[in-house]
């Protein structure tokens, strides 16, 4: 059970979409696939949902081989593609009934599974799916993907284009579903969502950079990070970029994360340098690495 | 089975909620039949002509009277000199000019023959042809009347009888053609569009990752359109029966069966198109260019196949519409039974099987 991916490679013409991807997901785990657009997340999802065939490597989903037992996989997984893929001209209820029917079940049979989510959109059940807001569309899509009580749920960027409140609600729902024993693979470009997963894999340009729990993954960050602020953030960035000893400079909202090339880094020296560049109210503090920092560092 | 019913139900929701397509689906056959039946016709009526009479004697007057008395022509103007002919054609006022030579009667009596020049505007070749034929016919009748008293030694008279369409109504020719075109378009274009729409919207991805089998998806897609196409066929037959009084000589039942066969052929083509096109736009273009044009140009619907160049005649054989037009013309106009059209029916059957086989082979159970 769970999910096993071994050395999966896939290329389209001359582009390598996936290279030697390997990871295992334990049954009941909420596993996150974190990476920017074009990292190969969707290709990996399509291989695991039997929509594409990998060039090399093997994978099993809920114990079924993606190539040989593709029919069994199609019976036992729920898939929510990145693009909203329901019938826009059908109402909420009709969409749900349709998906229940083609999976050979009824809404009533698995209602307990979708109840928490469905009650939120039920007041609009006679509204056509095309007229729903982004958050409601995602909730409906999740209901449709869950209606047949899948063993494994694939969610490809479920929160892209959804407002922050709905995003939070959506992740709360995933957490609740996890308690019902469903294994989940979720992809997202948002680093803050990564922290909500049991384990995450950082992926870029088709390669897995690191796999670990969100808490330990930041330990892979090799250098001390300093949080730099001043009266002019833009000027801070340009000045730090010109500083000969910088290792990395990344803006984080109002702050700038800075790492130094040298082992013996002196805060005072950097402070003076920034002052010379005409900056005021300078603060430089050591800070903890975030998942984003780790990703940026690993992706360098 | 429940899955299939659920799928078909969903298809009907799509069809009935898309008001514009629905309008095209049922409005198109009616509009086409009425258009082809009333507006497009090879018959001529009250064509404006001009007369250039160089002799102005009793005979020419009599002929002119005869021509203007027929409902085919109306004399728009009388011109006096040759140089006027060109300008009036250019103005487009008349379609033909009849020019009588000098001393028309005198020559007729003394030399036993005289000349009329029929000059027609051949920018529209069909009309030009018809006009000259009609003028000739009127002249022949006139001559026969004149010669009633003194019979000449030898005379060959061709007695023409037009069977199956004695009044030469062009609507009789258009009804089978329009029916073929509509059934082809509705069936092939609508199914190919509806399948590619699922691809384009991404719902195909979800359908593939579900227990529903590909052939169930395809049959589920096709099923509603069989039903709608049958309604269309019935509409067309009723319109031609009651508005154009077109008789149906053969068995209605056979006509129905053959229509269903052709609908299935077209649906199979539609599925085939959907397997090779990724977007609705491509599917529509392929259906229009790849199906509608051959149906209009190469099926014998408008242009007779026998007068095409040989390579075109050979190509026309692979167009299913050609065979269906032969079949329905046979049933509707000649009243033939299956024993006369079994060959065409068999060809359609083989084509259908081939298309279905090919589309099953080409149908993708994955995304690529």
pLDDT of residue B255: 92
pLDDT of residue A146 exceeding 70: yes
Provide the domain limits for residue B340. 2-40+169-362
pLDDT of residue B162 exceeding 80: no
In whole numbers, what is the pLDDT of chain B averaged over residues? 86
Complex confidence, ipTM: 0.84
CA-nearest of B198, B186, B197, B265 to B227 is B186
pLDDT of residue A290 exceeding 90: no
Closest residue in A to B203 (Cα–Cα): A85
Q: Does B18 contact A89 at a Cβ distance shorter than 8 Å?
A: yes
pLDDT of residue B153: 54
**At how many degrees (to 10) do helices B252-276 and B320-329 cross?**
170
Hey, is the C-beta of B336 within 8 angstroms of any chain A C-beta? no
Hey, is the C-beta of B13 within 8 angstroms of any chain A C-beta? yes
Does B310 lie in the same domain as B199?
A: yes
Query: Is-contact B172 B249, C-beta < 8 A?
Result: no
Q: pLDDT digits over A237-269, tens only?
A: 999 999 988 999 998 888 899 998 888 888 888
A vs B: CB pairs below 8 A: 80
Does B51 lie in the same domain as B35?
A: no
pLDDT of residue A198 exceeding 70: yes
**Unique residue bearing structure tokens 């149908």:** B363
Band the pLDDT of B273: cuts 50, 70, 90.
very high
Nearest by CB to residue A51, choosing from B6, B14, B209, is B209
pLDDT of residue B138: 87
Distance CA B255, CA B335 (A): 10
Q: How far is CA B103 from CA B82, B113, B116, in A?
A: 16, 11, 11
Closest residue in A to B5 (Cα–Cα): A101
Final residue of a domain: which of B86, B114, B146?
Answer: B146
Residues in A closer than 8 angstroms to B18, CB to CB, are 89
List the single range of B145-149, B205-209, B342-346 with lowest mean pLDDT.
Answer: B145-149
Write down the domain spans for chain A. 3-218, 221-299
Hey, is the C-beta of B366 within 8 angstroms of any chain A C-beta? yes
Q: Does A104 contact B2 at a Cβ distance shorter than 8 Å?
A: yes
Residue B8, min C-alpha distance to chain A (Å):
10
Q: Stretch A72-98: mean pLDDT, rounded?
A: 92
Nearest by CB to residue A52, choosing from B7, B202, B368, is B368
Q: Does A83 contact B212 at a Cβ distance shorter than 8 Å?
A: no
Q: pLDDT digits over B287-315, tens only?
A: 988 888 888 888 888 788 888 889 989 99
Phi, psi (5° rounding) for residue A53? -110, 130
Does B177 lie in the same domain as B119?
A: no
Q: Does B2 contact A75 at a Cβ distance shorter than 8 Å?
A: no
pLDDT of residue B152: 60
| Residue B162 within any structural domain of the chain | no
Residue A84, min C-alpha distance to chain B (Å):
8
- Return the DSSP state at A253: T
pLDDT of residue B154 exceeding 80: no
A221-299 fold: Alpha-Beta Plaits (3.30.70)
Residues in B closer than 8 angstroms to A73, CB to CB, are 209
CA-nearest of A44, A285, A291, A19 to A185 is A44
Does B352 lie in the same domain as B203?
A: yes
CATH for A3-218 is 3.40.50.300
Among B209, B213, B364, most A C-beta atoms within 10 A, so best to mutate, is: B209
Distance CA A255, CA B102 (A): 107
For chain A, first and last CA: distance in Å?
35
B257-273: burial string, b at 16+ Cβ within 10 Å, e else: ebbebbbbbbbbbbbbb
Band the pLDDT of B149: cuts 50, 70, 90.
low
Residues contacting residue B182 through CB under 8 Å, at least 6 positions apart: B28, B29, B32, B232, B236
| Residue B164 within any structural domain of the chain | no
Hey, is the C-beta of A83 within 8 angstroms of any chain B C-beta? yes
Please say whether the dihedral angle defined by the alpha carbons of residues A219, A223, A227 and A232, taken in this order, is positive or negative: negative
Q: Stretch B217-226: mean pLDDT, rounded?
A: 89
Does B280 lie in the same domain as B345?
A: yes
Does B278 lie in the same domain as B195?
A: yes
Hey, is the C-beta of B15 within 8 angstroms of any chain A C-beta? no
Hey, is the C-beta of A74 within 8 angstroms of any chain B C-beta? yes
Q: Stretch B149-157: mean pLDDT, rounded?
A: 64
**Unique residue bearing structure tokens 């894999």:** A201
Nearest by CB to residue B210, choosing from A74, A83, A87, is A74
How many domains is chain B built from? 2
Look up residue B140 and give its two tokens.
Answer: 């022949």
CA-nearest of A81, A82, A292 to A202 is A292
Hey, is the C-beta of B252 within 8 angstroms of any chain A C-beta? no
pLDDT of residue A197 exceeding 90: yes
pLDDT of residue A18: 93
Hey, is the C-beta of A137 within 8 angstroms of any chain B C-beta? no
Distance CA A168, CA A175 (A): 11
CA-nearest of B7, B19, B12 to B224 is B12
Does B190 lie in the same domain as B137?
A: no
Q: pLDDT digits over A20-35, tens only?
A: 999 999 999 999 999 8
Among B201, B206, B368, most A C-beta atoms within 10 A, so best to mutate, is: B206
Q: Does A46 contact B367 at a Cβ distance shorter than 8 Å?
A: yes
Does B240 lie in the same domain as B95?
A: no
Residues contacting residue A210 through CB under 8 Å, at least 6 positions apart: A201, A202, A217, A220, A294, A298
Band the pLDDT of B150: cuts 50, 70, 90.
low
| Residue B163 within any structural domain of the chain | no
For chain B, first and last CA: distance in Å?
28
- In CATH terms, are A3-218 and A221-299 the same topology? no
Does B234 lie in the same domain as B122?
A: no
Does B79 lie in the same domain as B6?
A: no
| Residue A264 CB burial class (10 angstroms; 0-12, 13-18, ≥19) | exposed
Give the CATH number of the domain where residue B59 resides: 3.40.1710.10
Q: Which helix (H) or strand (E) holds B21?
A: helix B19-34
Does B51 lie in the same domain as B36?
A: no
Q: Pairing between strand A3-12 and A56-61?
A: antiparallel
Residues in A closer than 8 angstroms to B368, CB to CB, are 52-53
Q: Does B17 contact A46 at a Cβ distance shorter than 8 Å?
A: no
Residues in chain B: 368
Q: Does A81 contact B2 at a Cβ distance shorter than 8 Å?
A: no
Does B234 lie in the same domain as B105?
A: no
């Amino acid at each position: 059970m769970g999910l096993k991916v071994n050395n999966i490679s896939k290329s389209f013409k001359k582009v390598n979409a996936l290279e030697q991807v390997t990871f295992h997901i334990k049954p009941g785990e909420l596993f996150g696939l974190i990476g920017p657009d074009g990292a190969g997340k969707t290709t990996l999802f399509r291989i695991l949902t039997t929509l594409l065939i990998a060039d090399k490597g093997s994978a099993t989903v809920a114990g079924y081989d993606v190539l040989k037992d593709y029919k069994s996989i199609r019976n036992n997984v729920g898939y929510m593609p990145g693009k909203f893929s329901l019938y826009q001209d059908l109402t909420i209820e009709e969409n749900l009934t349709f998906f229940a029917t083609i999976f050979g079940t009824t809404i009533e049979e698995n209602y307990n599974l979708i109840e928490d989510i469905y009650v939120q959109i039920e007041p609009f059940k006679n509204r056509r799916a095309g007229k729903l807001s982004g958050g409601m569309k995602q909730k409906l899509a999740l209901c449709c993907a869950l209606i047949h009580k899948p063993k494994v749920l694939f969610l490809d960027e479920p929160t892209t284009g959804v407002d922050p409140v709905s995003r939070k609600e959506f992740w709360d729902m995933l957490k609740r579903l996890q308690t019902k024993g469903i294994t989940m693979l979720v992809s997202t470009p948002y680093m803050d969502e990564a922290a909500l997963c049991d384990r995450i894999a950082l992926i870029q340009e088709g390669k897995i950079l690191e796999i670990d729990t969100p808490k330990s993954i930041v330990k892979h960050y090799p250098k001390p990070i300093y949080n730099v602020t001043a009266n002019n953030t833009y000027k801070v960035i340009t000045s730090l970029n010109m500083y000969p000893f910088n290792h990395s400079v990344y803006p984080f909202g109002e702050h700038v994360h800075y790492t130094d090339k040298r082992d013996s880094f002196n805060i005072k020296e950097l402070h003076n340098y920034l002052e010379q560049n005409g900056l005021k109210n300078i603060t430089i503090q050591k800070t903890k690495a975030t998942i984003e920092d780790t990703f940026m560092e690993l992706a360098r | 089975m429940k899955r299939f019913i659920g799928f078909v139900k969903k298809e009907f929701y799509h069809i009935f909620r898309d008001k514009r397509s629905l309008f095209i689906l049922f409005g198109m056959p009616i509009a086409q039949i009425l258009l082809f039946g009333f507006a497009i016709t090879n018959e001529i009526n009250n064509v404006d002509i001009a007369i250039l009479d160089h002799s102005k004697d009793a005979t020419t007057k009599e002929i002119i009277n005869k021509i203007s008395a027929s409902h085919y022509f109306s004399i728009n103007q009388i011109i006096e000199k040759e140089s006027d002919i060109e300008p009036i054609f250019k103005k487009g006022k008349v379609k033909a000019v009849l020019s009588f030579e000098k001393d028309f009667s005198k020559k007729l009596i003394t030399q036993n023959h005289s000349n009329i020049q029929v000059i027609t505007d051949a920018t529209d070749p069909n009309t030009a042809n018809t006009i000259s034929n009609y003028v000739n016919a009127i002249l022949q009748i006139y001559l026969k009347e004149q010669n009633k008293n003194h019979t000449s030694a030898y005379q060959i008279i061709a007695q023409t009888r037009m069977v199956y369409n004695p009044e030469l109504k062009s609507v009789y020719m258009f009804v089978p053609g329009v029916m073929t075109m509509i059934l082809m378009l509705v069936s092939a274009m609508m199914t190919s569009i509806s399948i590619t729409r699922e691809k384009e919207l991404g719902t195909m991805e979800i359908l593939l990752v579900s227990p529903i089998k590909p052939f169930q998806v395809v049959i589920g897609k096709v099923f509603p359109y069989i039903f709608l196409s049958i309604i269309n066929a019935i509409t067309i037959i009723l319109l031609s029966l009651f508005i154009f009084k077109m008789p149906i000589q053969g068995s209605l039942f056979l006509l129905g069966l053959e229509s269903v066969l052709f609908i299935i052929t077209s649906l199979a083509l539609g599925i085939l198109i959907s397997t090779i096109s990724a977007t609705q736009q491509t599917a529509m273009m392929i259906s229009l260019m790849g199906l509608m044009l051959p149906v209009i140009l190469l099926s014998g619907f408008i242009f007779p196949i026998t007068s095409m160049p040989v390579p075109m005649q050979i190509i026309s054989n692979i167009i299913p519409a050609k065979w269906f037009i032969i079949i329905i013309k046979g049933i509707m106009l000649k009243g033939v039974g299956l024993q006369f059209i079994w060959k065409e029916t068999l060809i359609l059957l083989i084509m259908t099987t081939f298309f279905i086989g090919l589309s099953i082979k080409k149908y993708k159970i994955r995304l690529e």
